[in-house]
Chain A
Amino acid sequence: MPKSRVEPDACFLNIPYDQQFEKLYLAYIVGLTALGFVPRATLGVPKDARRLNRIFNLIQTCHYSVHDLSRIQLDRKTPRAPRFNMPFELGLAVAWSTLNPRSHSWVGCDAVHHRPVKSISDLNGTDFHIHGGTVKGVLNALCNAFVSRGERPTVPGMFRAYLLLRQASAALQAAAGARDLFQARVFADLVVAARKLWEQRSLTNKLLV
């Protein structure tokens, strides 16, 4: 497999794609863009035989990755099975960062304390960031996980940007003609919109000072 070029500010976002996770999905986008990241996700990666290669390639191109294991419970359809995509992609990232510690760092998140280490005991000794399943929790977890060298974004500031992005998301979804927000085009639009919102917010704050 050819070695990919690492993007220093790209962050691989490993989250579940379902409507119940929509608020936290938007929170991750706002939080990561406010911290200066370019979020990347497997949305848009075709579901063919080469999917795994493409996902691994995507992880390799990102210097950072965030893995949310808060929704790996059994699904409702029979036969009921846990959702292993997120832990599997976490495994790929852990392997890649172990082999290349200079070119990849990963961060784990969950809603409940001690649960990830209970379900993946191989990760004992690694502390996960706990968000409690809330938007502010996610923003706080991202601020704790990453420290920016420049201006540090505040959780209330990011929360305001999140509220605006949530209001704008319906229009962005309609403009893309998508049935939900978990589509490659909507994802890119949300990232750009979040960046613009954050930019304007920072500008307003500077004018007020």
Chain B
Amino acid sequence: MKIPVSWVRDFVDLKVSAEQLADDLTGVGLACDGIETFGSEAVLDLDITTNRVDAMNMYGVAREAATFYGLPLKPLDLSFPEAGAPSSESLRVAIEAADLCPRFSARVFDVRVGPSPSWLKDRLELAGQRSINNIVDLSNYVMLEMGQPTHAFDLTKIRGGVLRARMAEGGELVTTLDEVGRTLTAAVGVVADAEGALAIAGVMGGASSEISEGTTTVALEAAYWNPLLIRRAAKGLGMHTDASHRFERGADPAAGPVSIARFANLANKGAMGTARPALIQARGAGIEARRLTLNLGNIDARLGTSVPAAEAKTTLTRLGFEVTEPDPGASAHLGTARAWDVLVPTWRGDCTREVDLIEEVARHHGLMKIGRTVPASRRAAGLTPAQRTERQLKALLSGLGYREALHVNFVSSSKCHPSQGAVVKIANPLSVEQDALRNSLVMPGLLEALERNQRHGARDIQFFETGRTFTPSPEGPVETPRLALLISGATPRGWAAKARPVDFFDLKRTVEEVFSRHSSAVLALTREGVPPFLHPGRSVVISLDGNPSGYLGEVHPDTIDAFSLKDRPVVAEIAIDALNVREALVFTAFSVSPKWCATSRSSLPRPPTPPRSPRSPVNRRGPPREGSSSSTGSRVWACPPAR
């Protein structure tokens, strides 16, 4: 919010520069994002947090500054003369939805509509508001100054001379000030006259009763609207205005009459209009004053510092809280801790608990004054076995020459391969390109990453990625942590070795390395059930103790074409849950005789001896084909033992 410093000075005699003010306001929780200067005027850009509606105006900022600097806060000048017939002769108000509108105030003004005087126009401009005409500008000025949104209706356009706060009838139509025709639901509150809706309550006025050059009498309305109903209405209509921003966060229920008086005062001073006698008021649902108990011991206990009671009391009082101390003798006599009874000001709807009062004290005490401590730890901490496994995998694979890739979870459901299971769809996706959660890390994530790299000439790629995949279930989506690998292109070329295309066996070695370190289960590679996006003759399903846990294989030529890939990439994807943290290593004594002796890692039976790896020299035509001697169909073999 734009805060011209001169406007704040209207209410507090600041002795500091704009820069110092900005720093100090930041220190009490009104963060300054920047200072702009226009001639002699400095304007602070304050980022007011959503709970502090009371500070979203000049007077609220002045109150914080006055509290911080210990300076007096000047009251708003609310004096004005009255003239003419009583307001109530030409206007009645009625609350027909008590929940919607706990407070409704109005007054009639005789006005001279015209351009705004320069002081009004300039201040609005500094605060970032466009000038419209003097009456509308004044209404905006009052809101920026003291926080309460008001709305000016052309009295002659109010049919039946009545303003009614009620819920809209379903399908009721209203054209708002932005000249948009809107159809309202029964969940939207309105200000209506005898015949229909004039304005959307707490959100925006209507075109039919808008102030025009010909307007001579105005009904100025200032109400307190139910925050929840305003929020739902504004959200439902897709609208967000200065008024709705304040009402939905909780305005000051007592501010209506004050805002009308301030309008009258300024209208009179600027010769823009005169108030007719008597404020018209109506009440809906009751709003009770809030009283809180503050146990003094809790201030120090929560903050971890010592704040003198007198300082806490001064801070709260300056901010508008009324602190009463029950007879201290009585509490001492009863042996109870010292506690205060605190009346919360109407503009501080955000303060609902003792801890909110402690925050007020802390803000103005200064957080930077509180001593910093690190609480003692009572037990040893660390990673879980699963977390250790993931770290070890990342260390192993990056050490083996793989780069870690990482992609967003969102994919296009049209690119998810049906063989990888049903997909979880997003109800409100950003685009159809991101309308589902991935059910595979390889398809399409890693293949698309390969394509992007190939496009700018990076052909020799080794990627790994860990992340979760998602599949629907009756209990909600199931998340499965997975490890995926991709290699493509050629082995590194150098003066000592010629490059050759990478193939199935390069990636198989990595998969074996992963399993030999992280699994004690019997690993089996079978041809049955290989995903269709893989080369049927050059891929396998990975099973652990008979349970399929992933796949390894060369990408199918059709898939290569579909993703516009070059070369012959090889991929693998494994459920990480199938892996476990590297078992505790136990040393097994070996014989001193030169005879070879295995250092077995566990008492598990050794897997059957694997058939010898094909010995044919590695050639550039690709991996060796299966010989005619081997049987067709499925063949099960196991990985070589560890290390």
Task: Tell whether A and B belong to one assembly.
Answer: no
Q: Which residues on B are within 8 Å of A, measured CB to CB?
A: none
Q: Which residues on A are within 8 Å of B, measured CB to CB?
A: none
